[in-house]
Amino acid sequence: MAGAALSAPLGVLAVFLPAAPATAADAYGAPTTRCEITDERLPELSGLVGIGDGVLAMNDGGDQAEVFALDGACAVVEVRTAPVDPYDPEDLAVGPDGTVWLADIGDNDQGRETVALIGLRPDGSSTLTRLTYPDGAHDAEALLMAPDGTPYLVTKEVLGASSVYRPDEPLADGATLPMTRVLGMGFTLTGTPGGPVGRAGQLLVTGGAVSRDGQRIALRTYTDAYVWPLTDSDVAGALGGSPVRVPLPDSPQGEAIAFAGNDRDLLVSSEGLPAALTLVPVAADLAPAPAADTPDGEGDGAAAAVDLTGGVNPVTAGVVAAGVATVLVWVGGRLRRRREG
C-alpha cells in the first residue's frame, strides 16, 4: 500500500518538474531588517502590501475582516474592518480603485464549497464575492491582483504542483462566480532552509504580490521568493515565463510578501512575534522573460515548465517531495488553527 500511495504523486511531479537546473539569482541584494512587528494584534502575519514607507498587514485567520496600517517603524497607526466573519483569510492586495482585498481562501481540509474575496473600499463600505473552483476544493494562500483588477489565486500544494485560477466574470458584491484554471506551475526543491515543515516548505506557495506600478509579480514559499516581469495585466502569461529566484532569510513561518513603496524591492515577514519586516533590495532590473513552452493543444490550464529547481536534480527532488508528503499530512494537523464550518 505504501508503494501505491507514492506512485500517483510521483506521476504528478513528472508533469511539472523542469529538465534544466536553475541559474543563480543575482537580481536582489542582501536582506536587511527594516523593523520588527510587535503588536499583539498581529501574531499570525500572513498578508502584506507596501504603501509608501509603511505597509498594510493582515492576520492569518481571525474572527473578523481586519487590515492594519503600519508606519515605517512597524507601529500600527490605523485599523480598518469589514462586518464579515471570514473563514480563513490568507493574503492581501490593493485593487486599481484603492479597494483593499482580503483573500479568504485558506482551506487546509479542502472541504469548502466556496472561497471569498472581501473588499474594503476607500469610502468605508465593504464588498464580498464568493468564488468556486472548477475541479473541487483547494487550499490557497496567494492572491495576485492584476493592474486591471482581475484577481488570480495560486494554490498551495503538498508536492509543489500549484494551479492558478481566475474568476470568469468581474468581481461583484454578493455574487458567487465560477473560476477557470489558467495555468499549472511546478515548484521543486531549492535547498533553502526555513519554515515549519523542513524541505517541504520549499514547495508550498504561501503568498503573492503585484507591484503597484504593474510591472512585477512575486510569489513566495516558506523559503524562497520568485519574481517575474509583468506586461499589460497578463498574469498567466507572466507566470508561464522564467522567474528570478530569491532565497529568503530563515523564518519560522514565512507567509507574507509585498513590493516596497519603490515597486522594486521586496518586503517579507513571518508569523510569530516579534516578526521581522525584512527588506530585500533590488540590484538589477528584470528582463522580460519568454513564456515557457506548453504542450501542443492544451491552451489555457496547461502546465508551465517553470525552472525552479535551484540546481537540485529533478529525480532527487521528486523522490524527496514524495517522501515528505506523508510528513506534511501530520504536520498540517499540528498547524491547523481553523474553525470548523
Q: What are the tens digits of pLDDT across the range 79-95?
A: 999 999 999 999 999 99
Give me 339's grid cell. Answer: 474553525
Helix/strand/coil percentages in the chain, nearest 5: 15, 35, 50
pLDDT on residue 23: 36
Query: Lowest-confidence range among 8-17, 134-143, 304-313, 314-323?
Result: 8-17
State pLDDT tens for residues 260-309.
999 999 999 999 999 999 999 998 777 554 444 433 333 344 444 343 43
Residue 247 has pLDDT above 90, yes or no: yes
Per-domain boundaries in the chain: 27-335
CB atoms within 10 A of CB 130: 15
Q: Which of 220, 229, 225 is nearest to 285 (CA)?
A: 229
Backbone angles phi, psi at 46, to 5 degrees: -130, -25
Interacting residues of 241 by C-beta distance below 8 A, sequence separation 6+: 228, 229, 288, 289, 290, 291, 292
Residue 1 has pLDDT above 50, yes or no: no
Residue 17 has pLDDT above 50, yes or no: no
Q: What is the pTM of this model?
A: 0.82
Q: Which CATH architecture has domain 27-335?
A: 6 Propeller (2.120)
Identify the bridge partners of residue 184 per DSSP, sorted by sequence position: 163, 303
State pLDDT tens for residues 178-225.
999 999 999 989 999 999 999 999 999 999 999 999 999 999 999 999
The alpha carbons of the chain give a radius of gyration, in whole angstroms, of: 18
E strands, 26-160, in order: 32-37, 45-51, 54-59, 65-70, 76-82, 91-94, 100-104, 115-120, 126-132, 140-145, 151-155
